[in-house]
Every structure is written in C-alpha cells, then in structure tokens.
Structure 1
Amino acid sequence: MASAIFTILKRNRNLTENAFLLRSYTSGTQASTRKNLYSRISPLGDPSLSVVPVLDQWVQQGMKAKYIELSHIIRDLRRRRRYKHALEVSERMRSKELYVLSPADRAVQLDLIGRVHGLDAAESYFENLSDQEKNEKTYGALLNCYVREGLIDKSLSLMQKMIELGFASSSLSYNDIMCLYTHTGLLEKIPDVLLEMKKNGVSPDNFSYRICINSYGLRSDLNSMEKILDEMESQSFISMDWTTYAMVANFYIKAGAREKSLIYLKKCEQKLDKDALGYNHLISLYASAGDKDEMMRLWALQKTMCKKLINRDYITMLGSLVKLGKLEETEELLKEWESSCQFYDFRVPNVLLIGYSLKGLIEKAEAFLEEIIRKGKTPSPNSWAIIAAGYLDKQNMEKTVECMKKALSVRGENKGWRPKPTVVSSVLSWLGDNENIEDVEAFVSSLKTVIPVDREMYHALIKAYIKVGKEVDCLLQSMKTDKIDADEETAKILSSR
C-alpha cells in the first residue's frame, strides 16, 4: 500500500511540474515566444516528463519547428542520454509529417526506439520500413542495437547480410563487430575483423586501430600491440592523435615497462596542442607511473597553453597528487582552486577527503569538511558518505551511522547520489542490533528516498521489533507486498524471537 501511495504522489508531482513548466512557457509574453524551442525542452530533465506538450504549444503559438533545429535538438538530447525525449521529438517529426525523414533520421529513430522500447520494438520498426528505406544507415542502426545487447549470432548474421548487399562499405559496421567482441570478452577475434575489413577494401579509421590495439593490450600481447601501432602510423589516411598514444603508454605502465611508456608519453604530449582533456589524461598517466616532476611540469604547461582551468582539471591534478600520497601539495592546490573558483563544486574538495581517508586520517577529513560547512557551504551527500566509509574502515559504527544520516539529510544537493551498498549493509545491520525502533524506522525512511526498499532494510526493522517484543507480521506482509522474498537470513533473524 505504501509503495502504491508513493507512486501516485510521484505521478501527481510530475504532472504538476509539467503543468508548471508549460504555464511558464506559454504565458503569452513576447520574451517567452522569442525563446528558441530547445530552451523550452531543455529544462524537462526528468524522463517521466514528456516534451510533447511543449512541442504542441510551440506550434499552437504559430512558431515554426525548423528541420535543422529539430535535428540539432535530437542530437543534443542523445548526447546527454535523454533518449526518451529525443525519441519524442523524432516521432513528432514523423507523425505530423512535417518533413521527409532522411535515411540518417530513420537510423537515429531506430536506434532511439531500441534504447527506449527495447530490441523487439526496434526490429519491428525495421521490418516495417520500405525496401528503399532499408539502406546502409538503417541496417547499421539495427546492427548497433544487436551489438548493444551483446547478441553475437544476430550481429554476425546481420553483418554478413550487409556485406552481401553492399551495405558494409565503411568502417562503422566493422567497428561495431569489434566492439561486440570487446564487450563479450572475445578479444582474440578482433584482429581477424580488422583483417577482413582490409580484405574487403574498407579502410580502417582511428577507432578501428584503437579497438585492435586495446585488444592486444588487454591480453598483454605488447609486441602485437606495437606492430598494429606501427601500421597505423604508416597509413597516410590516418591522422594520429594523443588518444592512441595515451592508450599504448597506459598498457606499458601497467606492464611495468617504464622506458617504453616514456616513449609514448612523449609522443602523446606532442599531439596535445591546447587540448585540456589531453593534458588531464597525460597527468593521470604520469601519476600512474609515479612521476611527480612530470606531473607538475605538465600542470604548469597546461596553465600556459589552455585559456582557462575548469573544475575537471583541478579534480584530475588533485587526484593525481592523492594517488602519489602527496597530501600537503594537495592541500595547497585546493587553496589555489578555492581562491579562483566561481562555483563551489564539492567534487573538488571531495578528492582531498578521499586522500585523508586513504591515509586513515578520517578525523582530519571530518574536521576539514566541518570547516567548509562553517564557511557557509552545503556539502554534497557524497562528501559525508566518504567520511562514513572512512569510519566504517575503522569499525567506528556510531560515527559511520552519524555521517550517513548527514549524507541523507543533504541528498537534495545531488539527487542522483547513491550510497555504497557495503556501507548501507553494515549500517543497517548495526542499527537493527543496537538502535531503537524509532531510530531504525527514521533511517530506513530516509534511505528509501535514494534507493529502492530491499531485504536488508526489512531485516533491520525486524531485528528492532523483535528486540522489544513487537509483532513482526506487518513487516513480513509488507515484504510480500514489495515482492521481496524471505531468505535464510530472514529465517535466522525470526528464529531469535
């Protein structure tokens, strides 16, 4: 019953939010109607909210939905993994017959259907396409669906049909098959795909070579990895970039081949130019190699070459210093960030919290966090969760529970946060054994706002009830309602009555 009520409340809340957003967009002011369509769709981040009413209102206000604008919206929504909303926009284009969908449009729509509604729906969409609409792009989109699901037989069968129809003329389909073998652990088959690709007159691209290099690296076949790299470098149609050299350097670092790794780290640096992400990767690799001097040199170079340092850059450098155990330097760099940041992103100081925790300095970590809070900052739930995990490592359960409660109290700062299952499990077990019913119920109630109700939550409640002689039949019935089966642990707890 409780679960059903929560579902109804959530649904009503979503409808209210949708209505509010629509009212704000359709107030009739000139400023509102001048906004482009994407500015209306973008705030609807909750997948349970539909963008269809926004599209309808846009048309009702006499605004034109330009093809190029809709295409850009779909592309951006896909990039942000808002597949349901991207599909709604795509289907609106088709259902209203606003535009003639191109082969690329249909391929994108097929891919989105697979992501949102599943493989059966994607296959049905493909089968209903006309012969003219079944082309290299739509076949490729269906292949991508099969690869995403890890379906080897279906993928290979479709790939063979594409080759027979002349629909495998680019590297994309071959890359899909190599990705399939990567995800399914069949790494030894990847070089054969590269060979077949070249045999069929299809030129590999950067990604093709990188997948093959990665397959050899993962199998610790470094000689073959280097041969493929040499071949890649010799191809006139390939433009080498820092990504490939970073990958090769990483495998040599993991193999303990320091001299070899330095060769490719230098080649990587030569390709960086002003790419901040490349600097981040290279700094991290030098941290893995244990070379602090090179880290610091590249950090100084990045400051010179890149126009502006962002939080991601500081997180990378702080994390690299923590990896080397250089906490004093980490503290100094954090002060530098604090003096220049415009928005206090707790992911940045969290790196130092992790560093303290790794060194067993959990009290210092807590004091550091408390000092930030005294300055008027509201921490993310993960900040307190890091402290909680540190206290758990020291078997200080009272402090672990206290910090987890604080994490749950600020969950609004990061609604996507999820606590670590190991910490949750330990806390629930301890609460059931040591705390009163009210405390356990309060904690479980808060916990249910971030993760689904599970067996361990009920076990904590049952323990608390049994301890004071309270009847547990209502809890057992609620477990059934929530479709949670009793197990051996449940029976063991009940036997203590």
Structure 2
Amino acid sequence: MNSTRLLTKNLIQNGIVSRFYYTNRVNKATLYSRISPLGSPDKSVEPELEDWLKNGKKIRVAELQRIIHDLRKRKRFTQALEVSEWMNKKGICVFSPTEHAVQLDLIGRVRGFLSAESYFDSLKDQDKTDKTYGALLNCYVRQRQTDKSLSHLQKMKELGFTSSPLTYNDIMGLYTNIGQHEKVPDVMREMKENKVSPDNFSYRICINAYGVMSDLEGMERILKEMESQSHIKMDWNTYAIVANFYIKAGLTERAIDALKKSEQKLDNKDGTAYNHLISLYASLGNKAEVLRLWGLEKASCKRYINKDFITMVQSLVKLDAFEEAEKVLKEWASSGNCYDFRVPNIVIVGYAEKGLHEKSEAMLENLMEKGKVTTPNSWGVVAAGYRDKGQVRKALECMKTALFLTVENKGWRPNLRVITSILDWLGNEGCIQDAEDFVASLRTVIPVDRKMYHVLLKATIRDGKRVDKLLDLMKADKIDEDEETKTILGMKSS
C-alpha cells in the first residue's frame, strides 16, 4: 500500500476531530465550567470573569479559590495568576496571608523571583507571615537561587518562621536540585536539633540523597528511623525510591523486598503508583510481576488513562514482550481514550530497534488506513532501518511519507545518512520523476545543495533530456559547478 495516498484524508479528519476534543458535561453553567475549557496558556480568562460579573451573576470566593486551585494543579499558572489578580483588584475578598502566599507563588512561577520579591516587599507588615515568607523561599528554591534562599532562610529563623518541616524541605530540595546531595543530611540534622519533626517528604529527600551518593547504609539507616516514627505513615513512594536504588546497585532480592512493601502501602485506586511499580519490575526484567500488577491496576482503577498504557507498553517492549505489548495496544484501542500516537509508537520504534522494520511499517500503514495521525520521526526511523539493510527503494518510500508529514511537524529534520544514501541511489538508478519529486520534497525541509542538483543532473542525463534549465536553477540558487559537476555533465557525450 502507498502510505502517501492516505495523508491528505488523514490530516483533514484529525483536524476536524481536534476541534471537538473538549465536551462540556456540566449541565448547569458555572463560572468554573466557563473557564476550565480555556486550555491554551495564552488564552486570557479575564473576559470570562468580566462577562460573568456584567451579567449580574454571583461571584463566590470559594469558587474562585477552587478555580485557582484547579488551574495550579493543571499547571496553567498564568491563568491562575490572572484569576488571583482579578480577584484582588475587584476586591472580591480581603486577601489574607494565605491568598497573598498563593499569588506570590504564582507570580514567581510566571514572572520570576524578582517580581515575587517586589510583590512581597509591597505587602503590609501583618501580611508578612510564615506563609508569605515561605512562598518567597519556594520561589528562590525553584529558580535555584542559592544565596538568596539561604539569606531568606536566616531571616525566617530570626522571625521564628521555621517551625514547619516545609521550610527545611525547601532547602533540602534546593541542594538536591543543584546536585549538592551531601548537604541534605546536614539540613535534616539541623531540623531535628531545632525540634522540628521531619515529615514523609523530609525523609524521602534524605533517603534519595544517600541513594544518589551510593551510600546504601545511610539510606537504610534513615529508612529504619522513618519506620520507627509514630507520627509517620509509611507510603508506597518511599519504598519505591529505595527499590530503585537497590536495582541500580544490582541488589535484586532487596529491591523485590522493597517493592513488596511498596505494594502493601499503595492505594488500590492510585494509577500513578501502579505505573511506578510496573516500571521498576520491568527494570528487574520480571515480566510476570509486570503483568500481575497491570491486572491489579485494571481491576482496581475505574479508568486508566493514556499515561497508564504508555507505562505498560514501554515496560513490555523493554522486556522484549512484543506479543503482550500488542495485546495491550488492542486494549488501548478499545478503551475509548482519545488517540495518542505515543502509545503505538513505543511498539513501532521497539520493532525498528530489533530490525523488524517491516512490522513497524505495517503498524504505521494500519494507523493511517484508520485515519490516525503518525509522525515523520517514526517514518524516518523505519527509513533508516531499510537503508541499513540496503533496501534503499523502501527507505525512499518511507522517507517520502516522512517529508510529506513535516507540514504538521515543522521541527523535524531527516537523518542525513539516510538522505545521502537515497540521493546516491536516485542519481545512479532512480527515474527522473522519483528524483524530481524527492528533491522537491526535501528542499522544503532542508536547504537545497549541490548534492541534490547532481542527482537531478544524473537522472535527467540518463533519461536523455537537456539540462540547461537545471544549470540555470543551480546558478540561481548560488551553487557553483565543481569538478564533480563537470564529470556528470561529461556523461552526455559518453
């Protein structure tokens, strides 16, 4: 089948579907239902707020706070900040230190720590509490401002604002982010000396630091201490982190023991936890446990999203379990989830890496027959495989499809080794039409060069046609003739 015939229909169909991606299931219009669908980061939400107010509808503080919380959770920080600033500007409620802390955090995320500093400095003294000081510290840490973070921490200590583990967690997080893991245990010790009880996150950061430093004894010591604390409820994540370091150290039995403890602690409805454990068992090469946990996840979670399928398919491909991976793909196809090419692409690339390029191509063709989007990168991977096998004609067909798809994927660039091989083949054996079509497509993606013109000259001469126009075009593109050009032109008289 010629895949390029399906492309135009494919692009049109997917364009239509994308316009109806969001469906508002809320029967009664609320302010939340008006703002939630505005997913584009550049889309302003203020017109919706103003329109709501203009139509005389009630503005409830609790709903605005819920909207801000939801937008932050979905990483739509610019829109969350816009709601917060509008709420403040309109005087919907008197901002407490909590509201100021939220706005300060959003300013830091959207505009940087300098803007967050300015906002903090403008606050009244009564609003400069542990919450707003903590929010500014978090801004400094997030942007890895070590000196400012430590200086600000000192002010917080002087004001008595370091009674919460959050402050110390921020500093441990800072040292983690800048790679100074050896300083994390010192912060933990200081925390305890100041009679601040570490929380789960404190212990997890410290366990991670010891693990990164390959100090497994230190990691185990902190884990035992954590397990002995009455105020700590052990969680699946901590044991998963420990298991990961055991896996890296090649300590399989200890890793499995930690994974079993992790499983005992997870919430049955937590898909993220199942995904994490599935990935770790895949790293151990344990297919049976991967499949068992997938069965548990499907039985426990009401619905599994594309991310769950991606984790499972990645794990199976990692284990060379392609038959099982294809079964999971069928489950995904019938799940009702929105189409996401990343899911089947894992298997497509996996087959290609195994040298089974025919299977990869067949999967891509099948998706296109169904009107589904594919990407130039995947077609390029298959083309590279065919090229390495010496099947240049097949590499050409796949690359033609990849080049056509760059209309929707303008950032993609073809593999130059593959392009060179195809051009050489076209110049020596290809027909004039194939050469012209391929070069025309290629020059929409990369700048035209002498190599492309040499291919066209060879194909044209071999076809018995004149090359005058080609030479004029070559000159217009400011590509001078060289010795190879003269040799090719000499083919006319031989």
SS of structure 1 residue aligned to 2:383? helix
Are the equivalent residues in 1 in contact too, given 2:305–2:337 (CA < 8 A)? Answer: no
SS of structure 2 residue aligned to 1:185? coil
Are the equivalent residues in 1 in contact too, given 2:278–2:312 (CA < 8 A)? Answer: yes
- State the partner residue of 1:153: 147
- State the partner residue of 1:288: 283
Are the equivalent residues in 2 in contact too, given 1:90–1:109 (CA < 8 A)? Answer: yes
- Structure 2 CA distance for partners of 1:385 and 1:56, relative to 1, 3 Å: same
Aligned counterpart in structure 2 of residue 392 of structure 1, from 380, 384, 390: 384
- State the partner residue of 2:220: 226
- Structure 2 CA distance for partners of 1:163 and 1:335, relative to 1, 3 Å: same
The 5-angstrom pairing of residues 293-304 of structure 1 reads: 293-304=288-299
- Is structure 2 residue 189 aligned with structure 1 residue 191? no
- Structure 2 CA distance for partners of 1:427 and 1:260, relative to 1, 3 Å: same
Cα RMSD (Å): 3.2
Distance 2:449 2:170 in 1: 49
The alpha carbon displacement at 1:173 in A equals 1.3
- Is structure 2 residue 75 aligned with structure 1 residue 69? no
- State the partner residue of 1:468: 474
Are the equivalent residues in 2 in contact too, given 1:380–1:410 (CA < 8 A)? Answer: no
Q: Which amino acid aligns with 2:474?
A: V
Are the equivalent residues in 1 in contact too, given 2:313–2:329 (CA < 8 A)? Answer: yes
- Structure 2 CA distance for partners of 1:468 and 1:279, relative to 1, 3 Å: same
- State the partner residue of 2:403: 405
Are the equivalent residues in 1 in contact too, given 2:239–2:258 (CA < 8 A)? Answer: yes
Distance 1:443 1:54 in 2: 45
SS of structure 1 residue aligned to 2:198? coil
- Structure 2 CA distance for partners of 1:390 and 1:200, relative to 1, 3 Å: farther
Are the equivalent residues in 2 in contact too, given 1:428–1:460 (CA < 8 A)? Answer: no
Aligned counterpart in structure 1 of residue 330 of structure 2, from 332, 335, 339: 335
- State the partner residue of 1:495: none
- Structure 2 CA distance for partners of 1:32 and 1:57, relative to 1, 3 Å: farther
Are the equivalent residues in 2 in contact too, given 1:74–1:89 (CA < 8 A)? Answer: yes
Q: Which amino acid aligns with 1:385?
A: N
TM-score when normalising by structure 1: 0.77
Distance 2:451 2:110 in 1: 41
Distance 1:188 1:387 in 2: 46
Q: Which amino acid aligns with 2:346?
A: V
| Structure 2, gaps ≥5 residues long | 1-23, 428-433, 454-470, 480-494
- State the partner residue of 2:367: 372
Distance 2:421 2:42 in 1: 36
- State the partner residue of 1:269: 263
Distance 2:191 2:436 in 1: 65
Aligned counterpart in structure 2 of residue 143 of structure 1, from 137, 142, 146: 137
Distance 1:113 1:344 in 2: 35
Distance 1:440 1:95 in 2: 58
| Structure 1, gaps ≥5 residues long | 1-24, 26-30, 412-416, 448-456, 474-497
The alpha carbon displacement at 1:263 in A equals 1.0
- Structure 2 CA distance for partners of 1:32 and 1:78, relative to 1, 3 Å: closer
Are the equivalent residues in 2 in contact too, given 1:77–1:83 (CA < 8 A)? Answer: yes
The alpha carbon displacement at 1:461 in A equals 7.2
TM-score when normalising by structure 2: 0.77
Q: Determine which structure has more spread, i.e. the larger CA radius of gyration.
A: 2
SS of structure 2 residue aligned to 1:84? helix
- Structure 2 CA distance for partners of 1:409 and 1:248, relative to 1, 3 Å: same
- Is structure 2 residue 277 aligned with structure 1 residue 279? no
- Is structure 2 residue 326 aligned with structure 1 residue 326? no
Identity of aligned pairs, percent? 52
SS of structure 1 residue aligned to 2:476? coil
